[in-house]
């Protein structure tokens, strides 16, 4: 059996592969500013806020898992369009497509801005955008299962960078942690939205339903745990390595942290880490493009998947060139991230609402017959 985009349905993917995939697609470019964000919005020992966000994300994943179980593996389009006509849903589909393509392009553009600042200040950004767009196009052409396998391979280039943090343990001091918790925070709600954006990407898993095996939803929780563990470890190290005021005044405290990493076999750890991190950025962008492709493919099934891929990557390419400054990118990312958080919660709730209506409709005739 094949899916709407010609992909093999229920193809065998090891749970470990999917767990790594879930970890890789989450927007961890936020990691570079995460210690500052937690300090700014939550105050002293703000890194503990990540535990609260972890619980929230797990609740979100719980909604996705329940939707999959009640829907018995049907795609969300099959579930929704039984109750709501497709033409009614088109504006909402287009909104999700726009947000996801925007997220992919702005995450990519933010990374390019930072890379230009660090390494290539005079090189035009268009060359980097072309490079990312070509890679995205090639991966998207392979289909979902090839994307998963490619991203799993890229994961093993990224994850060793975390172990470099242990070279900083001699400079780590618990005395830098204040005895006060969440003192001096500015805006807990805004901070929650900012930090939650580090876990975005997982909402696209709503589209995995018909193309993965049963009992795959546990991989969502495992992948999210890996992300949370990484974010917690890095933020914890920053709070123990820098003073609270240093974290507040550093735009990218994690980058500064890696600058202090002294390894005999590596002279500039921060440069290597940031370059390797491009694989993580690519993974996040790819999954958003893929999600947009699924929505477009459902709306017009007669169009070949490759055509949608070209359209999506072209739109992402154009959007990535629009911002003139990092400030513009930040504004766009804040808006799009907030929209993505709304989608991450609204989509599974909407699917569950449709499933509830369908279950009630099935039960009503049975109850009527039983009453007779």
DSSP letter for each residue of 96-109: HHHHHHHHHHHHHH
Lowest-pLDDT range of 112-121, 216-225, 316-325: 112-121
CA–CA dist 231, 194 (Å, integer): 14
Is the pLDDT assigned to residue 275 strictly greater than 60? Answer: yes
294-342 tens-digit pLDDT: 999 999 888 898 999 999 999 999 999 998 888 999 999 999 999 999 9
Is the pLDDT assigned to residue 266 strictly greater than 70? Answer: no
- DSSP string across 55-84: HHHHHHHHHHHHHHHHHTT--HHHHHHHHS
Overall residue count recorded for the chain in this entry:
372
Q: How far are the Cα atoms of 210, 251, 274, 323, 339 from residue 109, in angstroms, in the given order?
A: 32, 17, 14, 8, 18
Please state the rounded mean pLDDT for residues 168-178: 78
Q: Cβ distance 230 to 222 under 8 Å?
A: no
Q: Cβ distance 185 to 43 under 8 Å?
A: yes
204, two tokens = 């696209």
**Coil, helix or strand at residue 21:** helix
Chain centroid to CA 40: 22
Please state the rounded mean pLDDT for residues 261-289: 79
Please state the rounded mean pLDDT for residues 76-97: 91
Mean pLDDT taken over the chain: 85
Residue 303 is classified by DSSP as S
The predicted structure's pLDDT at residue 117: 81
Please state the rounded mean pLDDT for residues 46-65: 93
Q: Give the other-Cβ count within 10 Å of 69's Cβ.
A: 13
Walk me through the domains of the chain, giving residue ranges and CATH numbers.
Answer: 15-337 (1.20.1740.10)
- DSSP string across 182-241: S-B-S-HHHHHHHHHGGGTTGGGGGGGGGGS-TT-THHHHHHHHHHHHHHHHHHHHHHHH
The predicted structure's pLDDT at residue 188: 86
**What is the share, in percent, of the chain residues with pLDDT greater than 90?**
39
H or E element at residue 279: helix 278-299
Is the pLDDT assigned to residue 218 strictly greater than 80? Answer: yes
The predicted structure's pLDDT at residue 221: 93
213, two tokens = 């095996």
Is the pLDDT assigned to residue 2 strictly greater than 50? Answer: no
CA–CA dist 80, 71 (Å, integer): 10
Lowest-pLDDT range of 62-76, 195-209, 212-226, 326-340: 212-226
Please state the rounded mean pLDDT for residues 40-69: 92
Q: Which residues pair with 43 in a beta bridge?
A: 184
- What is the SS3 assignment for 115-182? HHHHCCCCCCHHHHHHHHHHHHHHHHHCCHHHHHHHHHHHHHHHHHHHHHHHHHHHHCCHHHCCCCCC
**Coil, helix or strand at residue 334:** helix
Is the pLDDT assigned to residue 64 strictly greater than 90? Answer: yes
**What is the share, in percent, of the chain residues with pLDDT greater than 70?**
91
The predicted structure's pLDDT at residue 1: 39
The predicted structure's pLDDT at residue 116: 84
Sign of CA dihedral 315, 318, 322, 323: positive
pLDDT band, residue 6 (cuts 50/70/90): very low
CA–CA dist 147, 54 (Å, integer): 26
The predicted structure's pLDDT at residue 60: 95
pLDDT band, residue 372 (cuts 50/70/90): low
């Amino acid at each position: 059996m094949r899916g709407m985009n010609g992909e093999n349905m229920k193809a065998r993917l090891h749970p470990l592969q999917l767990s790594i995939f879930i970890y890789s697609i989450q927007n961890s470019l936020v990691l570079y500013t995460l210690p500052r964000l937690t300090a700014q919005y939550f105050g002293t020992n703000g890194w503990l806020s990540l535990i609260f966000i972890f619980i929230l994300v797990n609740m979100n994943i719980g909604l996705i898992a329940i939707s999959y179980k009640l829907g018995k593996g049907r795609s969300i389009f099959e579930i929704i369009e039984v109750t709501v006509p497709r033409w009614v849903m088109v504006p909402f589909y287009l909104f999700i497509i726009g947000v996801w393509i925007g997220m992919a392009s702005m995450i990519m553009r933010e990374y390019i801005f930072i890379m230009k600042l660090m390494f290539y200040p005079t090189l035009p950004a268009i060359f980097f955008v072309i490079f990312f767009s070509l890679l995205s196009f090639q991966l998207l052409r392979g289909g979902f299962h090839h994307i998963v396998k490619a991203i799993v391979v890229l994961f093993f280039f990224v994850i060793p960078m975390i172990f470099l943090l242990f070279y900083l343990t001699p400079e780590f001091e618990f005395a830098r942690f204040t005895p006060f918790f969440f003192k001096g925070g500015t805006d807990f709600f805004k901070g929650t939205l900012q930090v939650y954006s580090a876990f975005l990407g997982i909402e696209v898993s709503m589209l995995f339903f018909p193309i993965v095996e049963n009992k795959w939803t546990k991989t969502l929780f495992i992948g999210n745990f890996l992300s949370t563990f990484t974010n917690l470890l890095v933020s914890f190290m920053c709070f123990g390595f820098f003073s609270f005021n240093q974290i507040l005044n550093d735009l990218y405290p994690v980058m500064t942290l890696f600058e202090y990493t002294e390894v005999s076999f590596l002279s500039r750890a921060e440069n290597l880490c940031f370059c390797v991190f491009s694989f993580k950025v690519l993974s996040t962008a790819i999954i958003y493009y893929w999600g947009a492709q699924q929505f477009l493919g459902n709306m017009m099934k007669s169009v070949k998947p490759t055509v949608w891929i070209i359209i999506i990557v072209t739109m992402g390419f154009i959007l990535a060139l629009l911002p003139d400054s990092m400030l513009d990118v930040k504004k766009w990312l804040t808006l799009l991230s907030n929209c993505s958080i709304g989608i991450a919660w609204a989509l599974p709730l909407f699917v569950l609402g449709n499933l509830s209506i369908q279950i009630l409709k099935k039960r009503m005739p049975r109850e009527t017959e039983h009453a007779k």
